[in-house]
Amino acid sequence: MIGGTNKIVDIYMPLDSRDGPNTEIWPLATRQLKELVKVIRNLGWEPNVLNPDKFVASVSEGIKVIAGARGSRLIDFMAGWSYPDFTVSPLWQLPRDIPKLMLGSSIPEYPGNVGLLATAAGTAHVGLETSRLFIENFGDHRSYADAMGDFLKHGAVKTPFPEPLNVVSSEEDQRKAKASVSSLKGMIYGAVGPRSMQMWNKVSEADFLRYFGVAREGFDGLRLLKMVEKIPDDRAERALNFLVAKGMDIRLGPDPARHLTKGMVIFQMKAYFALVELKERFGLDFIGVQDQLDWVEHLPTTDLTLGLLNNRLRPEPDGETIVAATEADDGAAVTMQ
């Protein structure tokens, strides 16, 4: 039975869809979990780890795992960067009145706190109320036992925050803001790829048009790849030489699994020209490109490509920047434009 007044706290552990990150982080997560379980038991509660053998690695898996919940509290423990919808859709299946704590590991090597914040955007989108707790040293029980006790006893963690800044918007500020929004009317935004890393960073075609007057065009990554394949090697080589001549420090290595190789840079130069062509062919004003996970599992990412587009000093330039948002982040794209 889910919920009720029992003193069981379910612990749910999502992470990545790839075996590599999950395998690397799991041993650390189990050590952290061991300490967390001690704190929970010392507070008089019984932990119920829903997936004790491995991380949840998909939305489908998460929905199946969350079906085993039987506690009156739930802790969503993120030991590293966790795909947001590995949490949001599964947690949506639970009764709304079950208190939910998003717990992020804040050690520098694996940014569970960053994953938590990305996930919080998703829970906010769908109206799920959650508390947050960040832990760096899980072995230091005293550093988080009180906060955990508050959650278990009261169903929430009340974290003290600094007083918010009072930003006064003058009439001139409002005029400039309205002018900025009006300037977007009639523009076209091109998004390559669907949803990045299960994040909640999309703006619908309807909302782009309704709020900004911007048309949103969608393109498949396969189209971009086929355009990349048509760019000649010598053109890409000239682009690389241009960057080096202008002082860019490009440090190459031999191992594509660990280093930036020349072949990877040449590919990104081709992607650069392909995106310029896409912009011209479809009359795009600004763009966003998704790398993860479809693209990055097979091809070099477009980070260098997009960085160049956002600069006036770029290969075969026309003197202007082309706003290009990484991971097809619609909100970032419209803000930069």
Q: Give the pLDDT band (50/70/90) at residue 1.
A: very low
> Residue 19 is part of which domain span?
8-154
Q: Do both 200 and 147 map to the same domain? A: no
Look at residue 269 and tell me if it is in a domain. yes
Q: Which two tokens mark 331?
A: 């909100």
Do 328 and 188 lie in a common domain? yes
What integer best gives the mean pLDDT of the chain?
94
For the chain, the maximum distance between any two Cα atoms, rounded to a whole number of angstroms, is 70
162 pLDDT above the threshold of 90: no
Strand (E) or helix (H) holding 309: helix 303-309
What's this model's pTM, rounded to 2 decimal places? 0.86
Q: What is the CATH number of the domain that holds 279?
A: 3.40.275.10
pLDDT tens-place string over residues 30-63: 999 999 999 999 999 999 999 999 999 999 999 9
Q: Where are the beta strands (DSSP E) in the chain?
A: 8-12, 46-49, 73-78, 100-105, 131-135, 188-192, 215-219, 286-289, 324-326
Report how many domains make up the chain: 2
Same-domain pairing of 122 and 230 = no
Q: Which residue has the higher pLDDT, 254 or 112?
A: 254
On whether residue 164 sits in a domain, the answer given is: no
pLDDT-based confidence at 198, cuts 50/70/90?
Answer: confident
Q: Are residues 215 and 83 in the same domain?
A: no
Q: Which residues of 10-33 are buried (b: 16+ CB within 10 A; e: fewer)?
A: bbbbbbbbeeebbeebbebbeebb
**304: in domain:** yes
pLDDT value of residue 193: 92
Higher pLDDT, 164 or 53: 53
172 domain residue, yes or no: no
